[in-house]
Amino acid sequence: MASQDTTSALHGAVLGLGMIGRHHARLLQAGPRVRFAGAVDPGGDRHGVLRDPATLHASIPALLAAGPVDFAIVAVPTEEHLPAVRELAAAGVHVLVEKPLAATEEDALALIAAVEDAGLHGAVGHVERCNPALLELRRRLNAGEIGRPFLIATERIGPFPDRIRDVGVVKDLATHDLDLVRWLGGAAVAQVAAQTQHRMGRAHEDLLLATGRLGNDVAFNCVVDWLSPTKVRRTRVLGEGGMFVADTLNADLTFYANAATPIEWDTAQQARGVSEGDMTRFALSRREPLLVEHEAFCDLLLGVDGDGVAVTLQEGLETVRTAEAVLRSARTGTTQSLTPA
């Protein structure tokens, strides 16, 4: 595909004006790099986010008939990602698809084929990667600040958002964690063992414990639920030199160093464990993650060298495959091995 003129604004649309789509619509209407091409939601503009009611359309053909559309953000329920992307790809529209890429591996493969066969760009909205705390954590990991990492542990717990009907906590929420562990750890998931629980009486699971290792032997552990009476979003990376803790609710990053001073206490010396060193809380510039995601996608479309945080469709597929292995593991009580795609 030829790269586009970087001086002209891209025409961007959004499909679905629900919990996340409304934020996409807000940013598309405000951004200097994008001309808002309109929104599609047969349910209307329930959150009142559109500045001009004439930009609301009931279908993709109606949106396309109203003017040029270079790209669309697909923020419809997960099971509807594939049909929506097929329709957009057939019209030559690039897509930024909300996470998870699709409800099943089969759908994800078909979605990628639709985009690639049409010669279009696609990316996945794993927006946690754009959180300032995690961007900074990854930058410091890659700079070798804690040496070799050996454990990534995530915790994503809180009350149930009573709107998700089509998938359970693994595909809806844990896909954030399964994407993060491979992105931070630098290798794909090689093995995973998981347990789930169904406490709310829904068809899908509402609690997950997943333990595994990446292809480079970094271990990971994810605790995810819709049952806890308080919201926690925490990612911990433990390495040779200490531990990073990212709190993505508040976009905070803290570093706990192993003490560099020799320990003169016999018992502790014999144990050869780590001891507490300095603690540093980094001052971060806190940009809205969804805006960072939009910018990375626009960079991709315009062929501009950005910070490269756009998540590829293949990475999105890998996360869906890993989520399916997690569910298989929980169902069968077996450890699942994943072969690289």
Ligand X SMILES: NC(=O)c1ccc[n+]([C@@H]2O[C@H](COP(=O)([O-])OP(=O)(O)OC[C@H]3O[C@@H](n4cnc5c(N)ncnc54)[C@H](O)[C@@H]3O)[C@@H](O)[C@H]2O)c1
Q: How far is the CB of 332 from ligand X (least distance, A)?
A: 25
| Residue choice 4, 9, 77, 306 for contact with ligand X (CB under 6 A) | 77
CB contact at 8 A, 58 and 48: no
> Would you count residue 15 as binding ligand X (CB under 6 A)?
yes
Number of residues that bind ligand X (CB under 6 A): 23
Spatial separation of the C-alpha atoms in residues 211 and 31, rounded to whole Å:
40
> Would you count residue 125 as binding ligand X (CB under 6 A)?
yes
Site for ligand X in 155-194 (CB under 6 A): 163, 172
Q: How far is the CB of 310 from ligand X (least distance, A)?
A: 14
Q: How far is the CB of 59 from ligand X (least distance, A)?
A: 7
Q: How far is the CB of 15 from ligand X (least distance, A)?
A: 4
Secondary structure of 282-337 in HEC code, one letter for each residue: CCCCCCCHHHHHHHHHHHHHHCCCCCCCCECHHHHHHHHHHHHHHHHHHHHCCCEE
Whose Cβ is closer to ligand X: residue 43's or residue 262's?
43
Q: How far is the CB of 123 from ligand X (least distance, A)?
A: 12
Site for ligand X in 36-55 (CB under 6 A): 40-43
32: its two tokens:
């200097």
| Residue choice 127, 300, 325, 327 for contact with ligand X (CB under 6 A) | 127
3-state DSSP helix/strand/coil % of the chain, to nearest 5 = 35, 30, 35
Spatial separation of the C-alpha atoms in residues 115 and 199, rounded to whole Å:
38
| Residue choice 11, 12, 13, 21 for contact with ligand X (CB under 6 A) | 21
13: its two tokens:
């649309």
| Residue choice 13, 17, 153, 311 for contact with ligand X (CB under 6 A) | 17
> Would you count residue 124 as binding ligand X (CB under 6 A)?
no
> Would you count residue 80 as binding ligand X (CB under 6 A)?
yes
Shortest Cβ contact with ligand X: which residue?
Answer: 18
Q: How far is the CB of 80 from ligand X (least distance, A)?
A: 5
Half-sphere exposure of 66 (CA within 13 A, CB side): 19
Q: How far is the CB of 75 from ligand X (least distance, A)?
A: 5
> Would you count residue 18 as binding ligand X (CB under 6 A)?
yes
> Would you count residue 75 as binding ligand X (CB under 6 A)?
yes
| Residue choice 1, 6, 19, 341 for contact with ligand X (CB under 6 A) | 19
> Would you count residue 84 as binding ligand X (CB under 6 A)?
yes
Spatial separation of the C-alpha atoms in residues 1 and 119, rounded to whole Å:
6
Question: Beta 34-40 vs 56-57: how paired, if at all?
Answer: parallel
CB contact at 8 A, 300 and 167: no
- Buried residues in 99-121 as b, exposed as e (16+ CB within 10 A): bbbbbbbebbbebbebbeebebb
Question: Beta 219-225 vs 227-239: how paired, if at all?
Answer: unpaired
Spatial separation of the C-alpha atoms in residues 114 and 176, rounded to whole Å:
24
Q: How far is the CB of 156 from ligand X (least distance, A)?
A: 11
Residues that bind ligand X (CB under 6 A): 15-21, 40-43, 75-78, 80, 84, 98-99, 125, 127, 163, 172
